[in-house]
Structure 1
Amino acid sequence: MKALVLPAVAALVFVASGAAFAQMDHSMHGAAMVKPVTATAATPKADATAMGEGEVKKVNKARGTVTLTHGALPNGMPPMTMAYKVKEASWLDQLQAGQKIRFATDPADGGMTVTRFELVK
């Protein structure tokens, strides 16, 4: 009888630990653990409209996007080249490949929309 109880208990522990493991948040796999910074008088809250710098690679009026190559952005996005939506479609008339710009993105959509830009002279 004891020989049957031990495997049954081991199986129960295994199943229970698997269920707990499945409920864990795994969204940070492969990412470095970063401790959040709380704003204090010594470290003011980061400006939500901080701007990064980039270069216009392509303007796609049909899709309403501008492809930018940029360095690391204030929102934590690493350097890359990607297509961004723009807040105002008329901005696409002002942008041309090769221009250097400073731009801000909307954190609500993961930073995929340019909400403000200015040409760099």
Structure 2
Amino acid sequence: MKYAKQMNKLGIALILTAASTFSAFAADPGMADMKGMGNQSMQGMDGMKNMNDTKGADMVMTDGEVKKIDTAQGTVTLKHGPLDNLGMPGMTMVFKVADPAMLSTVKVGDQVKFQAEKVNGKIVVTKIQK
């Protein structure tokens, strides 16, 4: 019986500790998304990028070769090097283009530099140049 009372006290103490911890987060909503941690919140994560969408302004151009152009579909097939911003190795693949007018600036066999970004969950060529 004495053991049961001690276990009840221990259980109550654990519940109170958990409740007070939860209430601290509820009282400071900034803690839930780490805003309260200042510059320390992302320490060690400098190389991480948002994998949902990428920004073209800070990306380097990737080398590629135009293998096929489909103006009706608004696509270009490129044999390309690694797309570091997307975590993809070099390969040959079909890309949608952000602006179909870009397709008139290249022809099959051209060596190009391009940027591909993830836009609304799809990989799109946003910039291409010879």
TM-score normalized by the length of structure 1: 0.56
- Name the residue aligned to 1:68: 78
2:123 is matched by which residue type in structure 1?
M
| C-alpha contact 2:83 2:116 (8 A) present in aligned 1 | no
Identity %: 39
**Higher radius of gyration, 1 or 2:** 2
Structure 2 residue 46 is the aligned partner of structure 1 residue 39:
yes
Q: Which runs of 5+ in 2 are unaligned?
A: 1-43, 48-56
Q: Distance in 2 between matches of 1:71 and 1:100?
A: 12
How much does 1:71 deviate? Answer: 1.5
| C-alpha contact 1:51 1:74 (8 A) present in aligned 2 | no
Equivalence map 1:1-121=2 (5 Å): 38-39=45-46, 48-75=58-85, 76-109=87-120, 112-119=123-130
Q: Distance in 2 between matches of 1:39 and 1:101?
A: 30
RMSD between aligned residues: 2.1
Q: Which runs of 5+ in 1 are unaligned?
A: 1-36, 41-46
Q: Per the alignment, do residues 48 and 109 of structure 1 end up closer, same or farther by CA in structure 2, a change over 3 Å counting? A: farther
| C-alpha contact 1:105 1:111 (8 A) present in aligned 2 | no
Q: Distance in 2 between matches of 1:118 and 1:92?
A: 10
Structure 1 stretches of 4+ moved >2 Å: 47-50, 107-111
